[in-house]
A and B are shown apart, each in its own frame.
Chain A
Amino acid sequence: MEASVGNNMEAVRRSKEDRKVLRKQLKASHTLLKHDGISAAQQPTKSLVVANGGLGNRVSREELSAALNEMGELETLIMHPHKPYAFVTYRSEESARKAHTHLNGEKLQCGENSVTLYLSYVDSVTCQEEVSVPLPDGLVLVEDFVSPEEEALLLAAVDWSSTNDDVTAQKALKHRRVKHYGFEFRYDNNNVDKDKPLAAGIPQECLPVLERCVKNKHVDILPDQLTVNQYESGQGIPPHVDTHSAFEDAILSLSLGAKTVMEFRHPDGRFVAVVLPERSLLVMKGESRYLWTHGITPRKFDMVPACDPQSPAHTTPDLSTYSNLTLSKRDTRTSFTFRKIRHEPCGCAFPSACDSQGAPSAPSPPPPPPSLPCCHADAALLEEEYVHRVYDAIASHFSSTRHSPWPRVCHFLLSLPAGSVLADVGCGNGKYLGVNPEVAAVGCDRSSALVHICAERGFQAFVSDALSVPLRTASCDACISIAVIHHFSTQERRLAAVRELVRLLKPGGRALIYVWAFEQEYNKQRSKYLKDQNKKHPENHSATENTQTGGSQEPHGTSSIHPSRHLEDTYRPVENIDVTDGKLSVHTNRTAFNTQDLLVPWHLKEGKKRAEEEPRDGGKKDKGKEKSQKSSGPDTSDATHSPDSKPGASGDTSQTSSSALKSESESSPAPVFHRYYHVFQQGELEQLCGQEAGVKVQSSYHDQGNWCVILVKDLL
C-alpha cells in the first residue's frame, strides 16, 4: 500500500515538474511568436527553436552545437547576432525528437554562465541570408601583416610606465591607454601640435613594419607620427573621423595582442562592422579615411564569424552574414596607428567632413550621458527628462504592466481604520487607490497621463509634484509613496519628499514608503527582479511590479529570454559606463545594480503606438470599474516632447494584432526610454527618514527588491 502511494507521489511530483517545464516552454514559444512571428509547431518536426541558446545571451556556437550534435546530425544551426535563441534543423525528425527529449529544460554550461535551454518544434526556420556588404571605399585589410615574433617585439617596445611622460605623451583616457610618438595628438582640439614635435620619434622597432608598408604600396611616404592605443576588454573608442588637416590621406593601423571589431559608419546610414584579426594591418584611405567614421564599441564580447570547417571559408571580414557567427571574448588589444603629419590644408573630396574646408574639426559627439545634478534646478531638469517625460510617453504601456498591488502594501492599506483619509503620493495608475474601499483615498502623480488613467478607473486623483502636494497640512490619516522617492536625483529632494509626506500626516498618522533597493539579493534570496524567468517584457520592470503569475520583476542575466540589449542604446552601445566621473550609467535590466544612480531602460511595447485614427472616447468613465481598455487615453500630444518617444498607446494589449507587429518590425525597433533611479542601500531610507523631525520609523523591511519603511508621526 505504502509503496504504491509513494510511487503515486513520485509520479505526481514528476508530472508537476514536467508541467512546469511545459509551461515555461509554452511561454517561451509565446514570446517568440509575438516578437518574431515564429510559429511553434504542435507536432514534432526536424527543426527546433532553442530558447536561451542564443548569441544574444552569451551562448557560443561551439558550445551549443556540441550539445546539439550529441543528439544527431545537424543540418543547420542559425544564431542571429542579438537574439536569445537559436534555430536548429536536424537531418532527421528522430534526431530532433531526441534533442527535444534530452535537452529541453536542461542546463548548458557556457564559459562562466549557465543557461537553461527550452526547446520547441518549429514549422519553419526563417534564415535571413543577407548579401555580404562590401568594405568602405578605400579600406584595405591585410591579414598576418606581422609575425608573432614581430608582434612581441613591437609590444615590448612600448613602455607604459609613466616615467617616460615627458618623452612621449602618455595619457590615461577614460576608455583606453594612449601613447604618442613623433607628435602629440591632442584630444581637446582633435589636432596635432605640428610645431612641437615630441622628443621621442617613432620607435626603431617599427621601421621594418613601415618599410614593408611602403614596399607593398600601402603608403608613399614614411609616417612620422605614431599613436599607440591599448584597449582592454570592455574599452573602446567612440566613432570619429581622423582630423583631415592633421594627417595625410593614408592611415595605417596595426592590431596586436588580440582581435577586435571596428565599426564604420557612413553619413548616409550605412554601417559596416569589420573584424580586425590579430596581427593584421588596416589601411584607411580615401572615403574610408575622410568620410566614414570608425570606432570600437566598448564591449567584452564581439560577434565574429565562426571558423566552421563544414562551411565555405569566409573571405569577407564583415559581419553582415550572421548564419555563421559565434562569440569571441575580447582580450587586450594594442593598436599601432601610423600617420603622416599634414602641413598644407586638406583638399580632399569630402568637404562635409573636412576641417580645412569648413567643417568642424571633430564630428559632433553623441550627447554625453547626464551627470548627477548638484542643485535643484539641474535636478529638476534631469527628472523632467528622465522621469516625467518618460512616464508621460509610456503611460499606458506602463499602466498595463502595473496591475497587481503588492501584498504587503495591501496589508498596510487594509489595516487602516474605516473612514481614514489616505493620500497616495505618486499614485501612478491608481493601483492602490481602490484596495481598501472603506478609506477615502486620493492620489496624485506628476504624470498627467497616469492620473487620467486613475480617473478612468473612477478614482479621485490630481496632478502634482511630490515635493509640493496641495493638500492641507495634517489632513491625512495615512500616506503611501510606493516607488516614487527613488526618482529624485538629489538627497535634498528625496528628503523633501519625505518631509511632504510627514507634513500631510495627522499626529499619529502613518506613512508607508517603498523604494528600489540597491541590494537585489537579500538574505540570500534573489529578488524576483533577478530571478524570474518568464516575463513577457523582460526589460520593463521595476521594484514594485507584480504580474498575474505572481512573479514580479523581470530578471535578466544569461538564463532568461530577452531581446538584445544591443537595441537599447542607439548612439552609445556600452555595457556599463564607468560612473566614477559622476556620469550616470545605463543599467542592464535584470542584473544586479553596481551603482546607486542610474538610468534604467524601458522598451515601449510593440504595437503600443499612438493610433491617431482611433476615436477618442468623450470621457465616459465607468465608476469604480478597473477598465484599461478605453481608447480615451491621455492627451498624447504632451508625449511628443521627447524627440525619441513614441506616444503611449491608446489601446489595450489585446489589440496588438500580428499585422501591427509586422509593420512595427519593419519600421524602427521599439523605442527605448531611460528612467532615472537612485537605488537605496540598506539602511539608507531609514537614515533619510531619521533626518526628519516629528516622525519615527515604526518598522523597516525588505520586500522583493525594495527597502520599505513605515513612519509614524509624533503625537503633539
Chain B
Amino acid sequence: MKLLTHNMLTSHVKGVTKGYPLLIKATEVKVNEVDFNAQFVSRMIPKLEWSALVQAAEELGHRQDLPAELVPEYENNEEFLKKVHRVLLEVEVIEGSLQCPESGREFPISRGIPNMLLSEDEV
C-alpha cells in the first residue's frame, strides 16, 4: 500500500464519523524506485489531504524533511516534488495494519494489500 492510496482510504465502520485518516501500524515497509514524473506529482498534490500524508510519512519514519505545509508554487519546485514523489509513490507498506482512529478497528495489510472487508455486523 502506497501512501497515495492511504491518503484516499478511510474507515467505513458503521457509526464512525471521524474515520480519517487511518493510523498506520507497519511492521514491514519497503522503498521502491519509481520513475519520477513531475507533472503527475504536481497534479496529485491538490487532490491530497496534505496533513494526512505528512502524518502517515511520520508514522512510517519516512517523513524526512517533508514540510508540514505545502510550499507555495510547488509546481515548479522540482526538489519539493521529488520529496513528495518519494513519500507518495515510493514508500510502501508491505505488512502491518490500518487502524480506525475512532473505533480502533484494525484492518490488516498483508503482502502490500489492505483488507478493508467489514463483517456483516460492522457494516
Contacts and interface: CB of A to CB of B under 8 A. Distances in A.
Interface of A: 377, 380, 418-419, 421, 438, 440, 442, 444, 446, 448, 451-452, 455, 460-465, 467-472, 475, 619, 621, 623
A271 B118 CA distance: 46
Contacts of A461: 113
Given A380-B120, A468-B12, A470-B11, A455 B4 contact: no
Contacts of A619: 94, 111-112
A440 B114 contact: no
A461 B110 CA distance: 12
B10 A472 contact: yes
Q: Which one of A418, A460, A465 has the greatest number of beta carbons of chain B within 10 Å? A: A460
Contacts of A475: 8, 47
B113 A440 contact: no
A442 B8 contact: yes
Nearest to B41: A419
Q: Which one of A438, A469, A619 has the greatest number of beta carbons of chain B within 10 Å? A: A619
A465 B118 CA distance: 8
Contact of A470 (B9, B44, B94): B9
Interface residues of B, number: 29
* B interface majority secondary structure: mixed
Interface string B54-91: 00000000000000000000000000000000000000
A460 B116 contact: no
A458 to B, nearest CB: 9
Contacts of B10: 470-472
Given A380-B120, A464-B115, 6 more contacts: A419-B47, A448-B113, A451-B113, A463-B116, A468-B123, A470-B9
B109 to A, nearest CB: 9
A463 B5 contact: no
Nearest to B5: A460
A463 B117 contact: yes
A405 to B, nearest CB: 21
A419 B43 contact: yes
A462 B12 contact: no
Contacts of B47: 419, 421, 440, 475
Given A462-B113, A468-B12, A419 B44 contact: yes
B5 A623 contact: no
Contact of A462 (B32, B40, B116, B118): B116
A462 B111 contact: no
B94 to A, nearest CB: 7
Interface string B22-41: 00000000001010000110
14 contacts: A377-B120, A380-B120, A419-B42, A419-B43, A421-B8, A452-B111, A462-B1, A462-B114, A463-B113, A463-B115, A465-B118, A467-B123, A470-B11, A470-B12
A469 B43 CA distance: 24
Contacts of A621: 112
Contacts of A418: 39-40, 43
A76 B10 CA distance: 69
B21 to A, nearest CB: 9
A641 to B, nearest CB: 15
B50 interface: no
Nearest to B19: A470
A455 B110 CA distance: 11
B52 to A, nearest CB: 10
Contacts of A377: 120
B118 A472 contact: no
Contacts of A460: 1-2, 4-5
Contacts of B2: 460
Contact of B5 (A419, A446, A448, A462): A462
Nearest to A632: B111
A452 B113 contact: yes
Contacts of A419: 39-40, 42-44, 47
B43 A472 contact: no
Q: Which 4 A-B pairs have the closest CB atoms?
A: A419-B43, A464-B116, A462-B114, A463-B115
B106 to A, nearest CB: 13
A465 to B, nearest CB: 6
A475 B40 CA distance: 17
A462 B120 contact: no
Contact of B112 (A448, A455, A471): A455
A468 B118 contact: yes
Given A438-B40, A472-B10, A462 B115 contact: yes
A448 B115 contact: yes
Contacts of B44: 419, 440
A471 B49 CA distance: 13
A472 B10 CA distance: 6
Contacts of B42: 419
